[in-house]
Structure 1
Amino acid sequence: MGNLTNAVMAFLVPLPSILFYHSFLCQFSALGLACATASVSVHPSPLLWVWTWCAHHPILLANVLFFLNVNVLFWVIGLIQSSHWMIDLYWTVIPVMQVHYYATHPLARYNQWRSAVIVVLTWLWSIRLTHNYLRRERWQWGAREDWRFSDMRQQYGKHWWWVSFFSIYVSQQVFLIGLCLPMYAVHSVEKSWNLVWDSIATVVCTCGIVVAYFADTQLYEFVERNKALKVKQKENFEEGMWRYSRHPNYFGEQLWWWGLALFGWNVGHFWTFIGPLINSLCLSYVTLLVERRMLKQPHRADAYRLYQKTTSVWIPWFKSSPRRNLKDKDT
């Protein structure tokens, strides 16, 4: 029953933003017709001022909707359920909502080909990540929250109820709005498709999606095999992409965001690289946390230390010789 309730809730929570934005588009269309027929009152109503503000501030409107619908609503739900699981799921959904939001906003100006490519790629990225999330959670909705949130819950104790608002939700707003700014950039300029740079951006984004998919699938199958054999994992997974990178899934994810920023750069907005840069720096810290967690497992610590010495962190590269590293360690 809890799984069904969480699933229904997950589908209903974005409705406030969707309904508000749909109402805005309808009212804006009516407002445009009224202006054309000179039937707008000389003294506009407060509601008319709201629609006008929404029409002229697309990025600010996106932040307001995110703050109210995600930060506040998701936070309250998380407090009630004592689990902030929903933000992980919506990491895969919010970019899709943003790309359609920027494409349909009244101020949108864009090249149809570039917009279509980015929309399709964003959907493919979202489907891949959503599938991986639900597969990893065994198709359970809200069964558990991110282990990092659980660790922070223990760390902050009685203060966690208010700390979680800033550490989970406000921080996520900065990341997601910032990372998705290239979607705004490409929908604000009518620049023709660049055969070189737009094609390169498309290839980078596609490679990111493909690399992340295969890396996550290989890891998932390895974990499932261990569970089926009912054995305690003593060695590290060093097959497929994981032989050449300790975090190939992170590498694929970064390729996606940097490729998306390349689209923004191509239309003249170089600042779109700021989001992926900050995200990469934060992912470096997350990588550190993950590896520290691995080293805390006594039965895997030695093997993982050797894995660290012989295998690239993110970018897939040739594996170093274990024997050479062992000799270096002895000397």
Structure 2
Amino acid sequence: MSLSEIAVLLGLNLVLILAVMGGLWALSLKLKDVSFVDGVWPLGMLLLALATFPRTDGDLTRKWLLLWLCGVWAVRLGWHLLKRWRGAGADGRYVAIVEAQDRNKGWSFGKTALLFVFIPQALFLWLTCFPVQLGQVDYHPAVGWIGWTGAVLAVIGIGFESIGDAQLSAFRKDPKSKGKVLDTGLWRYTRHPNYFGDACVWWGLYLIAAETGPGRWAILGPLFLTFTLTRWSGIGITEKAIHKSRPGYAEYVRRTSAFVPWPPKPAEAVTAPTAAPRAAAKPKSSASGTSKPRAAAKPAARKRTPAKPTSRQTKPRR
């Protein structure tokens, strides 16, 4: 495909996802809630992968590989997030956005939902899934070792994210976990195994796409996703809320990697230093410049000879 044809393909995909988000915005007006958009995010990527498939002439093995990996990831994650939304209700992050715009600018729910949630989500979704769009464009070359390495990485990412989500769901359902911090399983090695798995999936899909000429530009997708997860709306916002509700989370943060799985720091490396006992503290110096304990000052007081008072207090301490 020529550059102009690729531009048309991406443009039509953008129009498609904007139209879908427009319909979901209308649904949010009825529900007075936008939180379900998180569950739509992965399904929207699958929609763009499906829409791209019949309009491109890329290598069939690569196209099917991208489509199946994206599909497995999207269906699993979309179902998980939508089920969580049905059970937990409105997400506090989105509620805060709506309330802030109402308080600061007097915006209606509909205006905030459209301009701050659904349109941005459509743009970010379209950009993030560049690998499954551009990776289907060019026929040559066929899938090589880089592409198959990407496929393995994507499978690992799907598994990592799935296990992390399952462990978190089980932890939340346990009444004994109230107020506690999940620090077992994958959560012992990274504070966000689901985010790390998500990034692995899309870096893997990028490697599959990168063997083609146009697919190399797809790096913008995983770069943006990784930035979002680690520096923007992922870790920062999530951990800010957890710190308020779980007292032990600060200690967990000190010993556990934020993103890339890594063995936790030993307890002695993260324990805050404690104040030295009073008995071990350095005794204060006396007026004569010696360092004696207070009890030793009494004999010296009995040997004092009368002297003229001075401006400095000389009365011994009791």
Q: Which residue of 2 aligns with 1:190?
A: 139
**For 1:56 and 1:328, how far apart are their aligned partners in 2?**
59
Q: Which residue of 1 aligns with 2:223?
A: 277
Given residue 65 of structure 2, which amino acid in structure 1 is its aligned partner? Answer: V
Q: Which runs of 5+ in 1 are unaligned?
A: 1-52
- Show the 5 A alignment for 1:12-27: none
- Show the 5 A alignment for 1:107-256: 108-137=56-85, 140=86, 144-157=89-102, 158-159=106-107, 160-226=109-175, 231=176, 233-256=178-201
Distance 1:79 1:312, change over 3 A: same
| CA positional deviation for 1:329 | 7.0
Residue 31 of structure 2 is aligned with which of 73, 81, 86? Answer: 81
Conserved 8 A contact 2:39-2:81: yes
| CA positional deviation for 1:56 | 8.0
Distance 1:74 1:134, change over 3 A: closer
**For 1:324 and 1:102, how far apart are their aligned partners in 2?**
51
| CA positional deviation for 1:156 | 1.5
| CA positional deviation for 1:320 | 0.3
The TM-score with structure 2 as length reference comes to 0.77
| CA positional deviation for 1:235 | 2.1
Q: Deviations over 1:156-202 (max 9, x none)?
A: 12414313212111211121111111122122100233331011110
How many correspondences in the alignment?
A: 266
**For 2:74 and 2:275, how far apart are their aligned partners in 1?**
47
Q: Deviations over 1:252-280 (max 9, x none)?
A: 00111111122222112322111221222
- 4+ aligned runs moved over 4 Å, structure 1: 53-56, 327-331
1:65 corresponds to 2:16: yes
Given residue 96 of structure 2, which amino acid in structure 1 is its aligned partner? Answer: D
Distance 1:64 1:318, change over 3 A: same
Conserved 8 A contact 1:215-1:242: yes
Query: What do you get for the CA RMSD once the two structures are aligned?
Result: 2.3
Given residue 47 of structure 2, which amino acid in structure 1 is its aligned partner? Answer: M
**For 1:69 and 1:199, how far apart are their aligned partners in 2?**
32
| CA positional deviation for 1:325 | 1.3
**For 2:42 and 2:137, how far apart are their aligned partners in 1?**
24
**For 1:55 and 1:293, how far apart are their aligned partners in 2?**
42
Given residue 213 of structure 1, which amino acid in structure 2 is its aligned partner? Answer: S
Identity of aligned residues (%): 23
| CA positional deviation for 1:282 | 1.7
Given residue 61 of structure 1, which amino acid in structure 2 is its aligned partner? Answer: L
More off after superposition, 177-186 vs 235-244: 177-186
Conserved 8 A contact 1:215-1:248: yes
Could you say which structure has the larger radius of gyration? 2
